[in-house]
Chain A
């Protein structure tokens, strides 16, 4: 009897373990849905975009939090899942480029039609401008989610050349290979300080941040790379420069899109890539908005906005567990802890992203969160930095908080610490 029960438990455990690997395949599922929707053409394109948005927004609203940190005995499977992002993204982007190309490049449409029995070429011909626009947004979204998110995880693995290679190619789809330099050696060093291009100061709106962070991030990556080359006695403008090499990878992708479908395909891909890059900067904006830190003190979980929403976590390789990621950048995603007591983002990633796109709504929801951060998380020193940030924010509610802050600092001091 007892032996039987133990056996049942073991079967259950094996099943649960398998599910933990399977849940991260939700990521690939979302990618395949998108590729299918794009190829199906017409209203399927808008429908696909809507479906993806619904999966995230509705899913995060009803599925609650995932705070488990299971042990994975075969991390190799997880790494393979990350690597699979590259062929998947290539398929999605190729489908998008094909959908705006004249004729049937590579006979792809005919091949898919023969395989599926569904005439994708005819569907494409009947596609309206609005549906093409939806595909542009969907592809941009996928470049961010299927491209940048696994690339982020992979380019942290600076010791693994295969992961670095795949990660940088994934980033090339959003013209952002410099991310592999600036994020690890810049952002992780300066996060939540004024020196970090990706940390948005209080009061900034997301559209300003997209442009400012893109420019400053590229400059920072260039500076880090030239410093590295100088140390190796190599010329800054040369083949050794990973910034130049990386941007050439993106140029090559644009050229391939051009070769497939002419100038309009190249222009269309460029727009998709810029959408993907903008998406990353919006995510940066959400992850660290308004936080302050003395650059001389180590990063703590309180210096990132965290979320444990289930669907976002499963489909984004725990990017959501951002507080632990910044406190210990060397930890692989599956071992990140949920830290439920860290400062929490508004909601799951896509929901928060849409809020960020509406600045009045963003400030309405985030100002109280930022003030609560000052009160519940900030150290005495950080509270002083926060007061300066509030004064500069241009947000009346934050500026008014300063006039009351003197009192609370005094009361803390009277506590003896």
Chain B
């Protein structure tokens, strides 16, 4: 009731929260509402992004924003009276509440595109690059369901391997599964130019804001969502200490090492990359870590470590059990199990 008396200290820059239709998102310093919403996977209506079209108009219910440009001429008297603003021209100065008619009630949708690249990463992993016809906002770490014209009626789930790109290009790491019709096609035949359909975003695997140290554990093609998360974190200036454990069978199964090197160079804090080989020959010239990637976890965690795991189910299950045994609370363990169709059938049987 006397909330106006309880004057809060000015918020620390960089940790402003905006509620978009009650969904909280964080807003970085100097970021507009639209940029923050899109970065965090909200399908906020927008078009020109420079204050010319009013597609991103929304109602400021609470809080203060700085408007970058004179937007009044695009809005009606009524709208101005009701507190409408343009999300692309509004930089929140305090925590804000925003009401907006989201273009679709379901946050998930289907976008067409076509394959623009197939890059071999290892003997059995191919990066599939798709240019979408329109933007599909998602959070770094989430996945999508993909289908391709050559295999009508078939769709498979893959994680986005990059944060949202300005050219609406998305990438997926497709590991060849023996007997897998989709993954075999992508790994063994040219599909550049083929129409595809991408449905998403799906899943709740993304980086939760916090200051705790990070341990990210990837197995095989499970590196994809973790790379997306790390790139996004670099772009937003995350300073948390981070360790990336990457498990593979032999040295030739390691990939994206240059990309990881670039992340390490730009990381604003300590960053440690540890590749672990499980099946390197005893006489291989490998001087790095050997064994199962999960065996390396205990030495790297503290009680307050937040962990993000992605890879085959066996790896995830043993890692989760191990982390819990070492006292890491369940809410600080985030996992994305890469289940193949075969795993799913086996579990059902």
Chain A interface residues (CB < 8 Å from chain B): 71, 156, 158-159, 184-186, 188-189, 224, 227-228, 230-232, 296-301, 323-324, 327-331, 337, 339, 341-342, 376, 379-380, 412, 415-417
Contact = CB atoms under 8 A, between A and B. Distances in A.
A154 to B, nearest CB: 14
A416 B73 CA distance: 44
| Ranked 5 nearest A-B pairs via Cβ | A228-B73, A329-B50, A158-B69, A189-B52, A185-B52
A342 to B, nearest CB: 7
Given A298-B47, A415-B149, A417-B197, A330 B166 contact: no
Contact of A341 (B134, B169, B197): B169
B216 interface: no
* B48, B53, B153, most chain A CB atoms within 10 A: B48
Interface string B144-178: 00000100110000000000001111000000000
B167 A301 contact: yes
A232 B152 CA distance: 56
Contact of A328 (B49, B89, B116, B133): B49
Contacts of B331: none
Interface string B65-102: 00011101100000000000000110000000000000
Given A159-B69, A189-B47, A300 B167 contact: yes
A339 B32 CA distance: 24
Interface of B: 32, 35, 46-53, 55, 68-70, 72-73, 88-89, 112, 114, 116-117, 131, 133-135, 149, 152-153, 166-169, 193, 195, 197, 266
Given A159-B68, A189-B53, A330-B88, A300 B168 contact: yes
A265 B262 CA distance: 56
Nearest to A191: B48
B195 A415 contact: yes
A86 to B, nearest CB: 22
17 contacts: A158-B50, A158-B69, A184-B50, A189-B48, A232-B72, A299-B47, A300-B168, A324-B166, A327-B168, A330-B49, A330-B88, A337-B167, A341-B167, A380-B112, A415-B152, A416-B153, A417-B112
B167 A224 contact: no
Nearest to A187: B52
Nearest to A382: B133
A412 B195 contact: yes
Given A158-B69, A298-B134, A300-B167, A330 B52 contact: no
A296 B55 CA distance: 9
Given A330-B88, A341-B116, A341-B131, A185 B166 contact: no
Given A159-B68, A417-B195, A188 B52 contact: yes
B45 to A, nearest CB: 9
Contacts of A228: 70, 72-73
A185 B51 contact: yes
A301 B168 contact: yes
* B51, B52, B55, B193, most chain A CB atoms within 10 A: B52
A327 B117 CA distance: 21
Contacts of B149: 415-417
B50 A188 contact: yes
A380 B131 CA distance: 15
B50 A323 contact: no
Contacts of A328: 49, 166
B166 A301 contact: yes
Given A301-B166, A301-B167, A156 B73 contact: no
Nearest to A226: B73
A227 B131 CA distance: 38
Given A231-B72, A297-B47, A341-B117, 6 more contacts: A188-B49, A300-B167, A330-B32, A330-B50, A341-B169, A417-B112
B81 to A, nearest CB: 12
